[in-house]
Each structure stands twice: as structure tokens, then as C-alpha cells.
Amino acid sequence: MRRWLTLALLAAGPVLVVAVFFVLPVGGMVARGFVSDGVLDPGGVLQVLARPRVARVAWFTVWSAAAATAISVLLGLPAAFVLHRLALPGRKMIRAALLVPFVLPTVVVGVAFRLLLGEAGPLGFLGLDGTPVAIVIGLVFFNLAVVIRAVGAAWESLDARPAEAAAALGASPVQVWWTVTLPALRPAIVSAASIVFLFCATAFGIVLTLGGVRYATVETEIYLLTTTLFDLQAAAALSVLQLVVVVALLGLAARLRAVPDATAARTSSRPRRIRSGDVPALAVTVLVLGLVAAPIVTLVLGSFRTEAGWSLGNYRALTGVGSNDALLVPVTEALLTSVRTAVDATWMALLMGLAVAVLVTRRSQSRSERRVRSLLDGFFMLPLGVSAVTLGFGFLITLDRPPVDLRDSALLVPIAQALVALPLVVRTLVPVLAGIDDRQRQAAASLGASPWRALLTVELPVVWKPLLAASGFAFAASLGEFGATSFLARDDNPTVPIVIFRLIGHPGELNFGMALAASVVLAGTTAVVMLAVERLRVPNVGAF
């Protein structure tokens, strides 16, 4: 009985939070799609989905995501090999640096790419600005890190001996790759690809800044329908469509991940010396580094360029509101708001994530208990399945009246960001907690340690580093969060990504310069946080 009581107590908080701030908004959003004027009207949803523009938007979403996924995997595999298997000098530094794009605020990346590919940019001659190609490249920029990290981690811990056994049986390096290495890596590759596809299909900030109105994905279309066209039913219909597709994709990804990879005996093998046969892989790695570095370098350089030549003018202007009163508050104030919001979001995500992680990793004693725990596990992964835009939209239409009226609460944005960050925290902590042998706790208990004491002795030493890493990750994610925040942040109290988006939407060279400077500040902050996290060397950060 006491077990169930503990379980219930531990579960109550997070369940309530997710119910109020996730199920309610998303449910309200779904209802909005199906009910018009107080009558159930599923035909309305179908009507929206039958619009030609919707079909175009859906098709664009699918093919751009598929193309970006394919390119990410093709470029990411050789880079993962080089950075995780070869004795390349400075490879740890490069690996840490490659993590930065993944947490860069999407708006910042959009700005950087526009600068790089724009008419006056270093790659302007390619004429890619405003084309779908630019969007795909932007998506690749983001998700290369995911592929390199996920596949690289699997590759690094891959036992080298099956490959050696194959070579000793007469298999050439190419044959070893096709018959031994690729089958062993397949689960990691498939799982990385499905996650990347998910990220690409729900990408928001990057598409909005690079695609404008012409090239919209389902995600940006929802935003446009809500904020510009006020067609809430259509937005809701698209959200429902996306919800269904994303949940199906997530389920598929989970099934693919669940494939038992008995092939992968986990060991850590020494990186080997570089041979002449590695040159193609090295070349691809250099290309990847170039692709990642180019926009960032362009962004940083651009932020120092003003009408009066090179200066810090753009940074000094951050204390103001831009030309033509582009903003209601100075950027510096938005930066403060951002940090405050991110701190709030971080502790919320951490508290919930820890409770959830403990909840789902404790060993069950009965079958019913196990079933309850696995149900809870799935329940808390739900926020991962819903795009930030859908969440923000749901907040907007449901939390503005009783029973929950948070329209003016300062906590609305942090709560939304915490929900977005929650799966990241859980994904980082669960493998660590699950890795603790239950007999360790039993040993502590048998030596006379109380449950709390056992927690301090057994769990804490293992968990504090991942906990710190998870908080850094949640903080960085909140800092750059744009999708949900763009719906919820009030004009007089915006976060930095919102401010950047607004600045690039306003004409004037100063405004664009300020957007660049603000982007550099935001990117620098997240990069520093992420590099600190990377130094903690927690294996599961950024693995999904």
C-alpha cells in the first residue's frame, strides 16, 4: 500500500501540470477545430484540409523535411566516423563546437542564413536567398549535430572486433561496412533520421525567417492563420493534422528504437590512426565544419558592420528601441526578461523532469504497477510529440478564461517553455537512473540506510552531473525558444528571440544591425552554456 501511496504522491504533481498545461490547451485546440458555433462540425476540418494551399503547404513540409533529413544523414555519417573513431587532433573541441548549432535560437540561424545567402552576402552570387534550397540548408545546419551525436555515440561504443573478424575472413573495407558496420549502426541511424525528420517537419523559426509567406510549412502556416489571418478553425484543423502525423511518427521512431540491437556489444575502443583511405570522410567533415561555421562567422562579422564602417554601434544600440520605434522595450530589457524566463522554465522543467524520471525508472513489484509506470512514461513524453506552435496556440485559446486564467500571468511563458524542455530533461535523466543497479539500493538498505539516506549514497553521486547538464540544456532551449513564446509573450515584455524577429521585420539598416548584434549575444550565451554542459561529459545530453 505504501508503494502505491509514494507512487501517487510522486506522480500527482507532474500529472497535474501536464494535464492543465498540456492536455487542456491541446484538447481545447482540437475542440476548436471540430466545433464551430457550438455544433460538432468535423466537416469543417475536412474542408480546411481540402484547400489547395493546405495541400501545397503539407507537400512542402514533407519534401523539405525529407530532403533535409537525407542530406543530414549523408553528411553526418562520415563526420560521425571521423569525429568519433579517428585519432584526429582536437576532435573533442570540434565535437563540442558542433553541438552549438543545435541549441542556437532558430531565429538567430534564420538571420545568419539570410545574411550569408542574401544579395550582399558572401554567398549571394548563388542566388539561393528566399528559395526552398536555403530552407533545406538551414534545416541541415541545425540537425547535422543530431546525426553526428547520435550515430557518433553508437559508433564510438561499437565493438571493433566483429569488423576485424570480417576483415580477417577476407572482407575488404567496403564489404566490412556493408555487411557488419552498417547493420550494427542501423538502429542508431534510423532513430537519428526519424528524430531529424520530426525536427525538420516541425521547424518553425528557421522556416518563418527564411521562407516568408511564399514557402510555408504546416507549422508556420498555423502561425500565419492565427496571428495574421485570424482563421482559428483552419489553424486548429492544421494543428490536428500535425498532431496526428507527429504522434504517428514518434510512435514509429519509438518502435524503430526498440529494435534490440544485439549486434552492438558496447565497448569503448581506442580511436585509430588516420589512414589514406579516410580522406573522403575527412573531406566531408571539413565540408560539414564549413557549413556550420559559415553562417556563424558571417553573423558575427555582420554584427560589427554599421553605416559608419566597423564599429560596436549595433551593440550600443541594443539599449534602445531601434529606428522607427521598431520595439516597445530596449533589447537589453528583453535580454533580462529572457534570462529570467529561462531560469523559471529551467527549475520547472527540472523539478518535473526529475520526478518523472524517478517515477518511471523505479522497479515495479507487480504487473499492474509496471503497467501504471509505463503509462505514465508515455504520458510525459506527449509534449515531445506536439510542436511548440501548437502548444503556444493551445495556451492562447484555453488558458484565458476560468478555470485557468493565466492571460496576464508572468508564468505563462516559462510554463510553456518548461513543457517544451521537459522531454529533454527526462531523456537525459532516465538512462542514468535506469542504469543504477537496484541491488546497490538494496545493499545500502541492508546496511541500515533509510530510503533517503540510500538516495544520497547511491543516486546522488551518479545523478548530479546529468542533472546539471539537463538544467543547462533546458536553460539553453528556453533561451532560444521561439515557437510557443511567439504566441504568448506580450509586446511590452518580449524575450530576445521575439525581439530579433520583430527587428528583422522592420525596415531600416540599424534595425537589421541590432538584430544581428542581439543574435550574437543570444547565440554566445547559449553556446557558453552548452560548452559548459559538454564539459560535464554526460553521455545522453542531446540524444533522443
Residues binding other proteins (CB under 8 A): 159, 161-162, 164-173, 175-176, 179-180, 183-184, 262-263
Q: Distance between CA 44 and CA 135 in Å, rounded?
A: 31
CB of 170 to other proteins, least distance (A): 5
Q: How far apart are CA 216 and CA 61, in angstroms?
A: 8
Determine contact, residues 510/324, Cβ cutoff 8 Å. no
3-state class (DSSP) for residue 210: helix
Q: Output 88 or 516, the one with its CB closest to other proteins.
A: 88
Distance of closest approach, residue 188 Cβ to other proteins, in angstroms = 14
Q: How far is the CB of 162 from other proteins (least distance, A)?
A: 5
142: nearest Cα among 96, 194, 196, 210: 196
Q: Looking at beta carbons only, is 184 or 317 nearer to other proteins?
A: 184
| Residue 15 half-sphere exposure toward CB, CA atoms < 13 A | 14
Pick between residue 214 and residue 270 the one whose CB is nearest to other proteins.
Answer: 270
Tell me how long the chain is: 544
Q: Strand pairing of 39-40 and 35-36?
A: antiparallel
C-alpha 57/C-alpha 221 separation (Å) is: 8
Secondary element (H or E) of residue 247: helix 232-257
In the complex, the smallest distance separating the C-beta of residue 431 from other proteins, rounded to whole angstroms, is 22
What is the nearest approach in angstroms of other proteins to the Cβ of residue 182? 10
Q: Least distance (Å) from other proteins to the CB of residue 260?
A: 9
Spatial separation of the C-alpha atoms in residues 172 and 342, rounded to whole Å = 52
Pick 172 or 442: Cβ nearer other proteins: 172
* Start-end of H helices in 86-204: 91-103, 106-117, 132-156, 161-168, 173-176, 182-201
Query: Taking the complex as a whole, how short is the minimal distance between the CB of residue 186 and other proteins, in angstroms?
Result: 9
Nearest to 415 by CA among 28, 23, 18, 104: 18
Q: Based on CB atoms, which residue is closest to other proteins, 176 or 522?
A: 176
Most distant pair of Cα atoms in the chain: their distance: 74
Contact 428, 538 (CB under 8 A): yes
- Closest CB to other proteins among residues 55, 182: 182
Closest CB 280 distance from other proteins, rounded Å: 17
> Where do we find the cell 566490412?
176
Please say which residue, 120 or 262, places its beta carbon nearer to other proteins: 262
Pick between residue 41 and residue 159 the one whose CB is nearest to other proteins. 159
How far apart are alpha carbons 419 and 493 in whole angstroms?
A: 20
Question: Of 284, 276, 334, 340, whose CA–CA distance to 144 is shortest?
Answer: 284
Q: How far is the CB of 262 from other proteins (least distance, A)?
A: 4
Q: What is the smallest separation between the CB atom of 70 and other proteins, expressed in angstroms?
A: 24
Nearer to other proteins, 179 or 323 (CB): 179
Q: Which long-range contacts (CB under 8 A, 24 or more apart) does 57-61 make?
A: 57/216, 57/217, 57/218, 57/221, 57/238, 58/218, 58/241, 60/132, 60/215, 60/216, 60/217, 61/201, 61/217, 61/218, 61/219
**Residue 401 bridge partners (DSSP):** 404
Q: In angstroms, what is the minimal distance from the CB of 171 to other proteins?
A: 5
